Structure 1
Amino acid sequence: MTETTSMTKKSKKSSAPKLFPDELIDQLLAQVQNKDAESILGESGLAGLLKKQLAERMLAAELTHHLASEAKQGKSGNHRNGSSAKTVITPNGELELDIPRDRQATF
């Protein structure tokens, strides 16, 4: 009597964990009026707006860190002082950012 075993091949293609939940993507896409590629992936579309907002948020966090480190060093009197519009060049073209300022212009 011979035994036969059936082996099923498992797919080696394992999916990486999702960085963003589908619900979040759905919320972002709901903000886009036209669902064409340019409105979603273009520099003036959803991807461009996300890039701008993320860059400005990083700059704001850096200024917060800068002001906190100045305060630890005993330097006082420096505070946030609005923002300035700047154009930065990215691999995909120019991007207008609002760069945060501090009163003593040390950032």
Structure 2
Amino acid sequence: MARKRIITPEKKELINKLISEYNITSAKDLQEVLKDLLGDTIQNMLEAELDEHLGYEKYETTEETKTNYRNGHTSKILKSSVGPVEIDVPRDRNGEFEPKVVPKYKRDISDIENKIIAMYARGMSIITGLKYQQRW
């Protein structure tokens, strides 16, 4: 006998919101939404990682002298179980930023996809996710 899946009201609400917001009508539409969400999640995690590395958030002004600055982005196409995902990896001026979410030269992210899904299932924010990611 198959195990009955229990969907919490919160998950059901989230699913309905995604279906209506993205107008999901087929499996292909769902795959595109998953690619979009995965790319956005990784992108936001990389931005938060750079904030942590530099010690200040984007557009934050401080009185103290900064020794390193943001320096644009580089495009990167990642291989995932839902297809290719394009992201923009943030850079710093001194070239010291070494992303941990998607390390330099790494293209296959199928190993971290399940971790990101688990993170969402736990209701973690991006910052909490970065702390969770430290344990990977």
TM above 0.5, yes or no, is yes
1:51 aligns with 2:38: yes
Match of residue 60 from structure 1: 47
The structural deviation recorded for 1:36 is 0.4
Please give the TM-score of this superposition, normalised by the length of structure 1: 0.64
Which residue, out of 89, 102, 105, partners 2:92? 102
Distance 2:16 2:34 in 1: 14
The structural deviation recorded for 1:90 is 2.7
The structural deviation recorded for 1:94 is 2.7
| CA-to-aligned-CA distance 1:34-66 (integer Å, 9 cap, x gap) | 4101101x2xx1111011001111111111111
Please give the TM-score of this superposition, normalised by the length of structure 2: 0.52
| CA-to-aligned-CA distance 1:47-95 (integer Å, 9 cap, x gap) | 11011001111111111111129xxxxx932122221111122344432
The structural deviation recorded for 1:22 is 2.4
Tell whether the 8 Å contact from 2:35 to 2:83 is kept in structure 1 after alignment.
no
Which amino acid counterpart does residue 88 of structure 2 have in structure 1? D
Superposition RMSD in Å: 2.9
Gaps of 5+ in 1: 1-12, 70-74
Match of residue 28 from structure 2: 38
Match of residue 24 from structure 1: 14
The structural deviation recorded for 1:21 is 3.3
The structural deviation recorded for 1:24 is 2.4
In structure 2, the CA distance between the partners of 1:36 and 1:15, relative to structure 1 (3 Å rule), is closer
Bigger strand fraction: 1
The structural deviation recorded for 1:106 is 1.0
Gaps of 5+ in 2: 57-64, 98-136
Distance 1:29 1:102 in 2: 37
Which amino acid counterpart does residue 72 of structure 2 have in structure 1? G
Bigger helix fraction: 2
Which structure is larger by alpha-carbon Rg, 1 or 2?
1
Identity score, percent: 30
Number of aligned residue pairs: give it: 87
